[in-house]
Amino acid sequence: MGRYVLRRLLQMIPVVIGTTFLIYWMVWALPGNPFAGKCGQRPCTDAYIQAQTDKFNLDDPLLVQYLKYLGNLLQGDLGQTFSGQKVSELVALAYPTTLKLALVALVIEAVVGLGAGVLAGLRRGGLFDNTVLVSTLIVISLPVFVIGFILQYTLGIRWGIFPVTVGSGAPFKDLLLPGLVLGSLSLAYVARLMRSSLAENIRADYVRTANAKGLSRKRVVGVHTVRNSMIPVITFIGADFGSLMGGAIITEGIFNINGVGGLVYRSIRLREGATVVAVVTLLVLVFLLMNLLVDLLYAVLDPRIRYE
């Protein structure tokens, strides 16, 4: 297991270099004047433009720019904005909030989605199964901002169960409703995926053998069937964590959350390339680490899988 983890970590190095270069190239190779609007209503002076050009190495070839950025990145320097503020400070303020929001959404989608999927798969064709299929189809067909406004109005304003905005520090109780909105689409997919996987495995030969041996239904379903059915679901949930962090722009806007989504949106609008590259690079690292964790969970769920 240790060798496998070390090999996977080493494999991440070229992936990180390749993805960060693509991100850097797409951000800094955009046509247009990056200093437009940086000096208010007046055009920026030649001295300011020259100073910023030297600061961000914009006169160098793109590959040289990237290598200098990569060298600073390895030293923990994420760069600065055009106004001189450190990107690491912006990320330190926004990332923990979005991380907590994504974790809340992940827990909600895993608990509710898996529970609904298991019950629907065991009662295939019944009332609960049909209810899950119809309700998840409705959730999938609705845009996230529609779900957000509906839940904010009904659960927050009308019934007063949850706060409609997130307070300072983003406490977990304030993130329950935004987490439900953010994870609603993934919750629907998890429920449907778990249902279909369980319904397929429950007719497998090893389940018939376990029943023939006289094992209790609780053991057959809980230990054997559900455990093996979770492998494709775990794959989806692991890959979805990075998507939740990167796709939180709409949810953070609805609930007035100061997170990564708003930071990326403002940075793109203001053409703050250093901030965009830093945030997306961290998201890439989250994706890679979650994929490694998912691969390790395979061996826990399925004893036939061994990493040597």
pLDDT tens-place string over residues 108-120 = 988 999 889 888 8
pLDDT tens-place string over residues 132-185 = 899 999 999 988 888 888 888 888 888 888 888 777 777 778 888 888 888 888
Residue 100 belongs to some domain of the structure: yes
Q: Radius of gyration (Cα) for the chain, nearest Å?
A: 24
- Say whether both 65 and 116 belong to one domain: no
Quote the Cα angle for 48-51-57, to 5°: 135
The confidence score (pLDDT) of residue 272 equals: 80
- Arithmetic mean of pLDDT, 125-137: 88
With cut-offs at 50, 70 and 90, classify the pLDDT of residue 40. low
- Say whether both 110 and 246 belong to one domain: yes
- Classify the C-alpha dihedral 170-176-182-187 as positive or negative: positive
Residue 94 belongs to some domain of the structure: yes
Residue 306 belongs to some domain of the structure: no
Residue 307 belongs to some domain of the structure: no
- Say whether both 103 and 205 belong to one domain: yes
Q: How far apart are CA 148 and CA 125, in angstroms?
A: 30
CATH number of the domain that 117 lies in?
Answer: 1.10.3720.10
Number of independent structural domains in the chain:
2
- Say whether both 109 and 53 belong to one domain: no
DSSP E strand boundaries for 5-110: none
Which helix (H) or strand (E) segment holds residue 121: the answer is helix 87-122
Token pair 């007046």 is found at: 42
- Say whether both 68 and 103 belong to one domain: no
Quote the Cα angle for 265-266-272, to 5°: 105
129 has a pLDDT exceeding 80: yes
Residue 179 belongs to some domain of the structure: yes
The confidence score (pLDDT) of residue 191 equals: 92
Counted residue by residue, the chain has a size of 308
The span from the first CA to the last CA of the chain, in angstroms, equals: 6
pLDDT tens-place string over residues 232-241 = 888 888 778 7
Residue 308 belongs to some domain of the structure: no
- Say whether both 135 and 62 belong to one domain: no
What type of residue is 203?
A: R
- Say whether both 114 and 59 belong to one domain: no
- Arithmetic mean of pLDDT, 54-68: 82
- Say whether both 166 and 50 belong to one domain: no
Q: How far apart are CA 149 and CA 131, in angstroms?
A: 23
- Say whether both 74 and 192 belong to one domain: no
- The reported pTM is 0.79
Identify the domain boundary among 20, 44, 79.
79
- Say whether both 152 and 291 belong to one domain: yes
- Say whether both 75 and 99 belong to one domain: no
Which candidate, 75, 172, 191, places its Cα nearest to that of 122? 191
Identify the domain boundary among 48, 79, 110.
79
Domain extent at residue 23 = 2-79
The confidence score (pLDDT) of residue 300 equals: 67
- Say whether both 140 and 37 belong to one domain: no
Identify the domain boundary among 53, 79, 105.
79
